[in-house]
């Protein structure tokens, strides 16, 4: 970090998610946006203007190496297309930059392991883009577990159901044919991540099934898996991107002293309560980028950089989430055979 203590930020990628990152950085006085990169300098400059930044006062780049060489840049958000995440993250690690990497961070085992090794060697701070950890309803669920209202969590269920065409994403009319990974890896990784996060345990085995309602997708658009955790408990995760219905993210926790269904909970520790209690909150039921809690994620990332601490959503932690997604893909392709999953801990 520079002597002033202000963290110098670069954002590589100029799509919708980059807008969310940039807006959050600009609202945090602990940092300063110094550079924006994209596949073209014109795209990077356009994103700068969109956020009210003067392209003449911010570094504009069409190369990750040039962006990382900007003097004063301490940390970078990697918001490039999925296939570039690993390459860009490895370059950032070798340049000694802290990084926030959008999900999925890698598309295969080789990319994931190379990233993990590069980050470990560099000793930089990382946060992976599992932004739903900062969703208010998820934070409430986490608090209910921590305060013991549910007792010991026995079962977790998380479902990511999102057809981007139905949600009105620009250019998503043929999204099934354009998929560069399975539904589970592209979006269902949020469900896998939250299942792990709320269970407080890594996935060690999966058994999955997959299907498709229409031909043309190079990857599975509908998947469901039973997962086993290191603590011996079980759960279920699913990812569907083909159905025609509004975005839905389901979250259920069953415990020895109570249960949670989205924003409804029941607990024997509340005597006199005879039915589900509903609490007002913000549910994760929107695919709109503007709905995502980027501010909480970005503020957390900057705090990790400032204080030199590892994030609960670090790349090291995210290894198990991605390995579980890869295993779900393999199990589904092989008709549901159980597949073991490496744990995230070293």
As a whole number, the mean pLDDT across the chain is 95
SS3 assignment, position 72: coil
Nearest-angstrom CA–CA distance, 220 and 163? 13
Nearest-angstrom CA–CA distance, 259 and 257? 7
Q: pTM for the full model?
A: 0.96
Per-residue pLDDT of 87-141, as tens digits, reads 999 999 999 999 999 999 999 999 999 999 999 999 999 999 999 999 999 999 9
CB 209 within 8 A of CB 336: yes
Of 94, 97, 122, 81, residue with least CA distance to 35: 97
CA dihedral 142, 147, 150, 154 (to 10 degrees): 60
Q: Quick check: 3 pLDDT over 50? A: no
Per-residue pLDDT of 108-117, as tens digits, reads 999 999 999 9
Of 141, 252, 253, 237, residue with least CA distance to 190: 237
CATH number for the domain running over 7-124: 3.40.50.720
Q: Quick check: 2 pLDDT over 50? A: no
CB 301 within 8 A of CB 127: yes
DSSP conformational letter for 102: P
* Residue 4 pLDDT class (50, 70, 90 cuts): low
Nearest-angstrom CA–CA distance, 254 and 212? 30
Per-residue pLDDT of 180-190, as tens digits, reads 999 999 999 99
Q: Which two tokens stand for residue 334?
A: 């092989």
CB within 8 Å of 287: residues ≥ 6 apart: 162, 164, 167, 169, 247
Report the CATH architecture of 135-286+321-340: 2-Layer Sandwich (3.30)
* pLDDT, average across residues 17-46: 97
Share of the chain above pLDDT 90, in %: 89
Nearest-angstrom CA–CA distance, 306 and 5? 8
Maximum separation of any 2 CA atoms in the chain, in Å: 64
Across the chain, how many H-helices and E-strands are there? 11, 15
Domain ranges of the chain: 7-124, 135-286+321-340
């Amino acid at each position: 970090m520079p002597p002033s203590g202000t963290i110098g930020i670069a954002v590589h990628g100029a799509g919708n998610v980059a807008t969310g990152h940039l807006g959050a950085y600009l609202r945090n006085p602990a940092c300063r946006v110094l550079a924006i990169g994209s596949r073209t300098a014109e795209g990077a400059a356009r994103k700068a203007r969109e956020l009210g930044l003067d392209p003449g006062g911010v570094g504009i780049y069409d190369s990750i190496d040039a962006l990382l060489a900007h003097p004063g840049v301490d940390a970078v958000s990697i918001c490039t297309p999925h296939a570039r995440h690993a390459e860009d993250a490895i370059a950032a690690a070798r340049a000694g930059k802290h990084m926030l990497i959008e999900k999925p961070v890698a598309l295969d085992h080789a990319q994931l392991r190379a990233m993990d090794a590069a980050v470990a060697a560099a000793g930089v701070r990382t946060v992976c883009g599992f932004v739903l950890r900062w969703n208010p309803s998820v934070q409430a669920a986490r608090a209910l577990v921590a305060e013991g209202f549910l007792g010991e969590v026995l079962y977790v269920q998380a479902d990511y159901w999102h057809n981007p065409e139905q949600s009105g994403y620009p250019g998503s009319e043929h999204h099934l044919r354009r998929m560069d990974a399975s539904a589970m890896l592209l979006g269902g990784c949020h469900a896998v991540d939250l299942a792990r996060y709320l269970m407080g345990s890594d996935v060690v085995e999966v058994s999955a099934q997959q299907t498709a309602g229409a031909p043309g997708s190079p990857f599975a658009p509908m998947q469901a898996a039973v997962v086993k955790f290191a603590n011996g408990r079980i759960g279920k995760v699913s990812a569907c991107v083909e159905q025609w219905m509004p975005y839905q993210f389901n979250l259920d926790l069953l415990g020895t002293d109570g249960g949670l269904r989205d924003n409804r909970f029941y607990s024997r520790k509340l005597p006199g309560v005879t039915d589900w209690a509903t609490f007002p909150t913000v549910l994760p039921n929107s695919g709109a980028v503007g709905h995502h809690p980027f501010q909480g994620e970005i503020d957390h990332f900057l705090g990790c950089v400032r204080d030199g601490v590892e994030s609960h959503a670090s790349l090291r932690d995210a290894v198990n989430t991605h390995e579980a997604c890869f295993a779900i893909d393999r199990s589904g392709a092989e008709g549901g055979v159980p597949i073991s999953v490496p744990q995230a801990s070293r």
